[in-house]
Amino acid sequence: MPAPTRAVSKSEFIAMMASLMALNALAIDIMLPALPAMGEALQIAHENERQFVLTSYLIGFGIAQLFFGPLTDRFGRRGPLLVGMGVYIVAAALAAIAPSFETLLILRFIQGMGAASTRVISQSVVRDRFEGRAMAEVMSLIFMVFMVIPVFAPTIGQLILFSGHWQMIFLFMAVLALVITLWAFFRMEETLKPENRRPLHARVIAEGFGLVFSNKSAIMYGLSAMFVMGGLFGFINTAQQIYVDIYGLGSYFPLAFAFVAALMSVSSFLNSRVVGALGMRRVAHAALIAFTVLAALLLALSASGHLPFLAFMCVFTLIMFMFGMVGSNTTTLAMEPLGKVAGTASSIFGFLQTVGGAALGALIGYIYDGSVVPVAAGFFCLGVIAIGCVLIAEDGKLFGVGKQYNR
């Protein structure tokens, strides 16, 4: 495949990686306003089953990452990415004409499988080019741009519903993915050096998996990120019901969703400014503890009776602000010691965070009872478990500095 005619600048690199990752957020968040219309059109019996449109995508997204990891470590970053993007585009276009709910779920699963390439490869490319605190800074900036999509995605979905049918949302996703694919085709450099490519043999793949799972620090940070992501997915699954059914925002609920996402973007930017001075561990550990304490507060308030909207938003936005610092740093800490198998490592952590997080989030969403309590309890319990994983990773010592790793 042709290489870019001129070098990609750092700013364009960050924007490109963020755009690739943002396709995943778009595929989830843009659907939220359309869930009631889809449920009615496809005759979904139970309103909580509408959440399967999100869950099926996430499961496909998570499982396929296990395959894209070894593929990208063997064939490089560009080829597998373009193949995955092609699958994403075709599945999204076909979903627009799905004749039944079951067919739609299958196509969403396939769309998620194609999107898995963007998650694995974007993180692998970042690890190819950066390491240590520089990697954490770049990942934070990518997360900052990436979080712009959740700010606007529900609003975009709502606007499409105002002007057309819910099927148009899938066509919008397909067209946008095509544009980003062309951008990557013409401008993305191959970052995996030929001497670092790993054969696609069962023994070599098993060796790569062994390197990941035998690294206690890496796998524990990966699991910590999985549990925190489970809480986030639990909220996303129930966001439309919380904002509309509990607080009566109606078609204005995307504005509340956007406000929270905007603060998460600000948090990621702030993280990129402070992580170089304070270090990934100090920032990640402090943010994770604050995340869990605030979740305990939200649980106590919601369990005591009806929680006013203003009180809910104040506490919840602080929780999500902390999540913005937890996400990029724990991911970086998991990837940091595994530069030699970056593709495989990214696929394993992506699988854990997506499939594990989606399963936990689906459980939280399915026990939704018309109150904020299940979501608040999910945040708190999963936050406590995530802290336990970090303690295991760090041998019981928080706020350390860590050590340097070679590429």
Of 272, 280, 321, 314, the C-alpha closest to 297 is 314
Residue 144 CA to residue 146 CA, distance in Å, equals: 5
The torsion of the CA quartet 313, 318, 350, 391, rounded to 10 degrees, works out to: -140
Beta carbons of 315 and 298 less than 8 angstroms apart? yes
pTM: 0.72
Of 260, 238, 373, 244, the C-alpha closest to 306 is 373
pLDDT tens digits for the chain (407 residues)?
A: 555 556 788 888 888 888 888 888 888 888 878 878 787 777 776 776 777 888 889 889 888 988 888 888 888 889 899 999 999 999 999 999 988 888 999 999 999 999 989 888 887 888 788 876 677 778 777 777 666 676 677 788 888 888 778 889 999 999 999 999 999 999 888 888 887 787 878 888 888 889 888 999 999 999 999 999 898 888 888 887 888 888 888 877 778 877 887 787 788 778 877 877 788 888 899 999 999 999 999 999 999 888 899 999 999 999 989 988 887 788 888 888 877 777 778 788 888 887 888 889 888 888 888 888 999 999 999 999 999 999 999 888 887 655 544 44
Beta carbons of 329 and 270 less than 8 angstroms apart? no
